[in-house]
Amino acid sequence: MINPKKKISLHVTAIVCVVLATTFFNSCNSNDYNDEQMYDTKLLIDTIATSDEFWEFERNSELLSDKFQAYTSTLSAEEYNKLMENLNDDDYMEEFIGKANLEKELQQMNEAKENLLLHTGFSKLSEDERREFTGKTLIKTRTEGNANSCETNKQIAYAQAKADYDNAIIKCRQESSTNYCYTQALAKYERSKRTSDRVYEECIKK
């Protein structure tokens, strides 16, 4: 006959073993799920990065930015500061868009954005994953083969500013004020690039 104390001890040992086994099993399942989720996300990101829709989005965001910069480069310091101060003024921005002749590029940008969201898995990415995706893609493209530290830092800053700009464009909703949202994103992007240029000029003087 088994001693009662020994019997209890055996029961406790059995329970502990079951708990440990269950915990280990759940842990393995959790790790397997996380690994699978990470793999699926990486696969999704790779698919988006090589899609026509993503590169069309990038092409149009660059065209829009280039045209915006081409116009703002003709402004005096006073006019440029006035633009920065009136980014939230719809009437002022409507007039600005007309003067800069940005209507076509804004329409193309909107179409490219909608195609990216509708025909790829981009909308499935979280905001952090989107920012990391666009940032890494652009930084790699801009810094490959560049050994100059000042230039490299400038290109990294440019790439980060571009990633922030792209994400701001994506977040603009389809509504009457979408164009104003785009121009706000453009203005912030250009301001970031100008800051990067000043930092670069200071760096090469050292």
**pLDDT tens column, 123-169:** 888 777 777 776 665 556 555 555 578 888 888 888 889 888 988 89
Q: Which residues of 1-20 are buried (b: 16+ CB within 10 A; e: fewer)?
A: eeeeeeeeeeeeeeeeeeee
Would you give the DSSP letter of residue 124? Answer: G
Contacts of 166 (CB under 8 A, 6+ apart): 57, 58, 61, 134
CA distance 128 to 191: 23
Of 12-16, 30-34, 61-65, 96-100, which gets the smallest average pLDDT? Answer: 12-16
pLDDT for 38 equals: 56
Predicted TM-score (pTM) above 0.75: no
